[in-house]
Amino acid sequence: MRYLSTRGGATPRQFCDILLEGLAPDGGLYLPERYPQVDAAELARLRAVHVNEGYAALAFEILSRYIDDIPAADLRAICEQTYTAEVFGTREIVPLKQLDDGFYLEALSNGPTLAFKDMAMQLLGHLFEYELGRRGQQLNILGATSGDTGSAAEYAMRGKKGIRVFMLSPHGRMSPFQQAQMFSLQDANIHNVAIEGVFDDCQDIVKAVSNDLA
């Protein structure tokens, strides 16, 4: 599976290359060059995987369709390491509750920061650590947040080898709960920077740095 830029200017790349790259060099987002097709029989099989083996196994089945440059055994282990009851507070990971006939509520806020972004961020932290370890490289992450995104990113990256996070946030403009989530982290690789201004000021700094590759 290769990935293309939405702006058309980037050479097709494999997953692990774009994993560490972020935006494409032309400023576009990466999308897969094709989308795997799932028929009714395969969908039924995936449902059975979820029921019999759990959420991590289902995550592996789906991700393996988009990631072919990580050995299957390693990718499965990463999914099992990510989606655990210890991290998400429940064996189901995303519990489904029936409210009425044909009407269900899916819980996506059981992660460490109570934000749906934990679903992807927790996986991303393990993927980053794995790929950086394979390459013998380190990664600095510069981000801007007005609340839950920053928390989810920091909790996903805390303690990860080869990763340092520098998160900009608007001073005094987050909820006390969000501030406590972020600023209470004492991990050596997490750095919170409060900016005098609003979220847009934080984002402008990140964009300026991103536009200066040197």
Q: Is 97 a catalytic residue?
A: no
The two tokens of residue 212 are: 């200066």
DSSP letter assigned to residue 169: E
Q: Which of 117, 160, 161, 207 is catalytic?
A: 117
**Which token pair is 207?**
């964009």
Token pair in block for residue 161: 């080898």
Which amino acid type is present at position 152?
Answer: A
| Sequence-ordered strand ranges (E) for the chain | 2-5, 13-14, 30-32, 96-100, 103-106, 139-144, 163-170, 190-195
Are 113 and 148 in contact by the 8 Å Cβ rule? The answer is: yes
In this structure, the strands spanning 2-5 and 13-14 are antiparallel
| CA distance readout (Å), 214 to 27, 107, 202, 209 | 16, 43, 20, 9
**Cβ(68)–Cβ(40) below 8 Å:** no
Q: Residue 114: CB partners within 8 Å, gap ≥ 6?
A: none
Q: Where are the alpha helices (DSSP H) in 4-138?
A: 15-21, 40-53, 55-63, 72-82, 85-88, 118-135
**Residues annotated catalytic, as ranges:** 117
